[in-house]
Structure 1
């Protein structure tokens, strides 16, 4: 519910701070005093579309702040969480309109867009009256209102679940049909490609291995020549080993002419070198043996490598992925061979989903039809005390294309005169009739949402006496489970108020300003008497005001 509304420099208001209470809050005042300005200001801070020139003349900017109390389960909390705005028990909305038309808004001191304001507004306030374009007059919401009245939550959930299953089944079948059709169109290509890949039987990593082998064989002849030179250099007779053998023999021949052990060290070293050279010669000869190759093997290696790369280019697939690609093509061929069975199973699944949805939608439609009759009956009971006993309210339920919420369209229609065809409320009813239709409908639907502040703008237009009293009684009934704000000219309605606010227009110097004051309990008789008789408050008017207040108190007790 709304706790406070602060307005600065909006139209005829320089600065106002208004506190609201739970229950029925009534706003009274003479025509033109500024009651509608309060609603314009509230609509502005809630992001509603309204008049553009709301900044008070001479001011640089206008500003409105509204504070709402949120229950633990209030739907506004979900909107705040989604927008990543801090959630607290009090919700503070502030919006500024500069003289040049620029607007800025804050929610709990966090800058936000107009869309966020409007999303919050949908959970906070509901305006009932001729200026309402999103509440009860919006036919798009009538089906949800009827479902809420009927308690169709479980049936609606079942229908939505069945619709989800049906859409999923149809989507799967469409995808299957498209895949099968595509596969059949390319069946000849698939068979040829699979055969070609199977014949080659590529393996991951084979391209790199073949390429390395090919390069080795291509370079083998040159490498062999170099290795052969190494062999010759190490040959026993002409190479290093022969020269070392000669050196050993020569040293041994002169050893007797030298001191003892003079050549033992060099001889031992030469023997070690001879052994190392022998091992080196053996290793080089093994390398030479490995470098021998068959030219036919090189040709075969090149042919397979080129075949792999040819298929890679043909299918646009890396060589290492050809084996996996072959498996993919083979699976597409398998799909063709099993297509009839899969399509038959998918068709059965769709048929079962269609039957399940049709059954759920039929149960929901039956419940809606029954609830439509009950709502029409309840409305007729409400319209009679509002002096509209000859009017007729019709909840029209018609068939539409299947959807997640069933196969029904719902629209609330009215006929104000016997024999006249029913039509949309806003087109058929006059201003006063429309207000009473909306009040009666809200009373019948009062269980649909207790979290919003309900605002009724001059809903008593064109009525008086017992009818106005009936209006007040119903407003008080709605206010028992929440908060209701009503702008009224009717003393009968004002008498039911649990908080009374008076709007006045005053001339201060050369400036006309609107003010709002809380009417204290001891002042209520005078204010309601003024509403009864005008500026001249007579004793009879005071007596009538007392009677109205007493009657309202008895009704509320």
Structure 2
């Protein structure tokens, strides 16, 4: 439920706040007073298009804020709305309300949206408000003339339709995917055969070289070592000689007096025999150094013995490096990438099968998927036809209660090709009586009749909801007299379980409201401003008198308005007791 709406610098409204109550709320006012701007603000809160031309002249921005309550509404809808807010990082305020805000900048018409205290795309506002707030205006009536909208209305009518529709959509998309694959294979057999040849050649080329992970990096180090092998051998051998006093190149003449290990050993022995504790500690440290020196000597010995002695090793390594470079030029920057490419190529190769056997197997799968789709579509269509008969009867009854006593609404289903929504085309048709031919709404319904058809459908389709907000923007256009009274009654009944907001110019409709908001315009020499006021009972009588015939200043006008209000409110009280 929408608890409050605040508007700033939108159209001729500089600033206005309206608290919205449960039940039926009507907005009335003179033509051009700004009622449309209230609906425009609501549309902005539902993610509607931002238009900088709507900003009040001289203002830098327009702001619309709405406060939504999810208590008292359908639990599933409330949970879905709360999940959307939480997924956006938002939260309810201290009153348990979710605040939605839309700001339009005069510079370029750019807009910003916030939900639950977090900045969000306008599409998130649309997703949040989709089930909470529905707006019916003249453009929405025109959309009702479209086949897709009429099919959607029928699917909304019966809750059992959704699981069948979901099952059909899954079967449809599965069939379309398999069918597309089959067509591509048939049409692209030559291209696929060429792709197979390329993949097989590439995989064979990599397999012939048979690289191992990281080999290209290790080979660079090996080649560098092979190119410097003589220098490395001399350096490591000399170091061993200086450490151990032995020639690492095969000359074992002792040079004990000059070797590092000999000198350190002598120093350690001298200090170890000392009776001074500090010198003994130094001896221990020398022992550690001697151990380290022994390890270094062993490491150098291993390095020296590992140096290649084969004169062909460098040539063989260079040739191997060239083989690897051939692969890295073609398939990936390094050998690890080449091996990953080969793995993907092998997976792709296994997935390509253009043999006759494979195509026949795929054709069988396509046919199975087609039959599954048809079966799901037929079940969906049968349910829709049953629902269409029931909806026709209920909608006709509603229309006859809306001062169209002999009219009948026909929900006609025509079988079509299987598509994303099934194999049905829905056409809403209207007949003036039982014997006349029913014709499509686009040709049979006047503006007023179309308004009543939409209201009748909304009354029926919203029957299972509770706590949501329904906005009707001059749904009573082109209507008067008895039909206006019936529209007021229907809106009032609809408001017993939902919040209904109606912009109206008819006093017969306004009289049924629980809350009456008046949009007033103030024109001066310099500016035009508008504000929204909540009317008291006495003020309502004056406004209804003005709406009846501009008789707000006469006793007759006020008496007529008071009688209209009293009778309507008695009916409202009865609806609430039921």
Partner of 1:70: 70
Of 387, 396, 400, 2:403 maps to 387
- Give SS of 1:460's match: coil
> Could you tell me whether the CA contact under 8 Å between 1:13 and 1:514 is conserved in 2?
yes
Alpha-carbon deviations, 1:303-332, whole Å to 9, x = none?
996996798599868889999999999999
Unaligned runs of at least 5 residues, structure 2: 234-250, 254-303
Note the 1:140-289 alignment, pairs <5 A: 140-151=148-159, 152-170=161-179, 184-185=193-194
Residue 126 (str. 1) matches residue 142 (str. 2): no
Partner of 1:246: none
Of 499, 513, 519, 1:497 maps to 513
The change in CA–CA distance for 1:138 and 1:519 in structure 2 (over 3 A counts) is: farther
The change in CA–CA distance for 1:173 and 1:522 in structure 2 (over 3 A counts) is: same
Q: Which shifted more, 519-528 or 20-29?
A: 519-528
Unaligned runs of at least 5 residues, structure 1: 224-238, 242-286
Q: Which shifted more, 524-533 or 309-318?
A: 309-318
Partner of 1:15: 15
Partner of 1:456: 472
> Could you tell me whether the CA contact under 8 Å between 1:12 and 1:34 is conserved in 2?
yes
Note the 1:360-371 alignment, pairs <5 A: 360-371=376-387
Q: Cα distance, 1:49 vs. partner? A: 4.1
TM normalised by structure 1 equals 0.70
The change in CA–CA distance for 1:203 and 1:402 in structure 2 (over 3 A counts) is: same
- Give SS of 1:407's match: strand
Q: Cα distance, 1:428 vs. partner? A: 4.7
Alpha-carbon deviations, 1:523-550, whole Å to 9, x = none?
5455445544542242751344433433
Distance 1:458 1:408 in 2: 32
The change in CA–CA distance for 1:433 and 1:24 in structure 2 (over 3 A counts) is: same
Q: Cα distance, 1:503 vs. partner? A: 3.1
- Give SS of 2:361's match: helix
Alpha-carbon deviations, 1:3-48, whole Å to 9, x = none?
1122334333333221110111122334444333322333345443
> Could you tell me whether the CA contact under 8 Å between 1:183 and 1:333 is conserved in 2?
no
Partner of 2:101: 94
- Give SS of 1:25's match: strand
Distance 2:347 2:128 in 1: 53
Distance 2:25 2:99 in 1: 20
Partner of 1:262: none
Matched residues, number? 501
Distance 1:381 1:61 in 2: 48
Distance 1:55 1:551 in 2: 41
> Could you tell me whether the CA contact under 8 Å between 1:502 and 1:519 is conserved in 2?
yes
> Could you tell me whether the CA contact under 8 Å between 1:26 and 1:494 is conserved in 2?
yes
The change in CA–CA distance for 1:5 and 1:343 in structure 2 (over 3 A counts) is: same
> Could you tell me whether the CA contact under 8 Å between 2:171 and 2:373 is conserved in 1?
yes
> Could you tell me whether the CA contact under 8 Å between 1:130 and 1:434 is conserved in 2?
no
Alpha-carbon deviations, 1:435-480, whole Å to 9, x = none?
1111111112123654641111222334344322221121112112
Q: CA RMSD in A?
A: 5.1
- Give SS of 2:477's match: coil
- Give SS of 1:497's match: coil
Distance 2:98 2:136 in 1: 23
Distance 1:331 1:509 in 2: 79
Q: Cα distance, 1:212 vs. partner? A: 7.6
Distance 2:335 2:538 in 1: 95
> Could you tell me whether the CA contact under 8 Å between 2:328 and 2:338 is conserved in 1?
no
> Could you tell me whether the CA contact under 8 Å between 2:46 and 2:129 is conserved in 1?
yes
Note the 1:515-526 alignment, pairs <5 A: 515-521=531-537, 523-526=539-542
> Could you tell me whether the CA contact under 8 Å between 1:183 and 1:336 is conserved in 2?
yes
> Could you tell me whether the CA contact under 8 Å between 2:47 and 2:123 is conserved in 1?
yes
Partner of 1:351: 367
The change in CA–CA distance for 1:175 and 1:521 in structure 2 (over 3 A counts) is: same
Q: Cα distance, 1:125 vs. partner? A: 2.4
Note the 1:271-310 alignment, pairs <5 A: none
Alpha-carbon deviations, 1:372-415, whole Å to 9, x = none?
22212221111112222444433343445434432334343445
Distance 1:423 1:397 in 2: 12
Distance 1:69 1:532 in 2: 35
- Give SS of 1:17's match: strand
Distance 2:481 2:135 in 1: 25
Distance 1:480 1:42 in 2: 22
- Give SS of 2:140's match: coil
Partner of 2:569: 549
- Give SS of 1:408's match: strand
- Give SS of 2:54's match: coil
- Give SS of 2:138's match: coil
The change in CA–CA distance for 1:316 and 1:471 in structure 2 (over 3 A counts) is: closer
Q: Cα distance, 1:150 vs. partner? A: 1.9
Distance 2:62 2:346 in 1: 72
Distance 2:110 2:198 in 1: 64
- Higher Cα radius of gyration: 1
> Could you tell me whether the CA contact under 8 Å between 1:529 and 1:537 is conserved in 2?
no
